[in-house]
C-alpha cells in the first residue's frame, strides 16, 4: 500500500469518551500565632447575631419596665388599703 509523505493511516475501532463535568474545590487554611489571636477576636461576628442581641436587650428592658410598673401599681394598691 502506498502512502504519500506526511500521511498516516489509523486502523481499529473508534472509542468516543463522553464529556464529564469538571469540578474544582479550594480550601484555604491558616494558623494564627498567639500574638495575633487577640487582634482577630470576634472578627467574623455575624451582623445578624448583633441585631438579635440588640433586639433581645430591648425586649428584656421592656419586660423590666412592665414589671417595675406592675410592682409600683401593687405598692400603690397596698398603700391605699391601709
User: pLDDT tens for residues 24-73?
Assistant: 888 888 777 777 777 777 777 666 677 888 888 999 999 999 999 999 88
User: Which residue is associated with the grid cell 405598692?
Assistant: 75
pTM recorded for the entire structure: 0.38
Alpha-carbon span 57 to 54, nearest angstrom: 5
Domain ranges of the chain: 47-81
Least Cα distance to 31 among 23, 22, 21, 40 occurs for 40
Alpha-carbon span 25 to 3, nearest angstrom: 49
Amino acid at each position: 500500500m502506498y502512502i504519500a509523505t506526511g500521511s498516516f493511516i489509523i486502523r481499529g475501532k473508534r472509542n468516543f469518551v463522553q464529556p464529564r463535568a469538571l469540578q474544582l474545590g479550594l480550601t484555604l487554611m491558616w494558623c494564627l500565632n498567639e500574638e495575633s489571636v487577640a487582634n482577630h477576636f470576634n472578627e467574623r461576628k455575624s451582623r445578624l447575631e448583633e441585631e438579635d442581641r440588640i433586639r433581645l436587650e430591648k425586649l428584656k428592658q421592656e419586660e423590666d419596665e412592665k414589671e417595675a410598673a406592675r410592682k409600683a401599681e401593687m405598692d400603690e394598691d397596698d398603700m391605699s388599703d391601709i
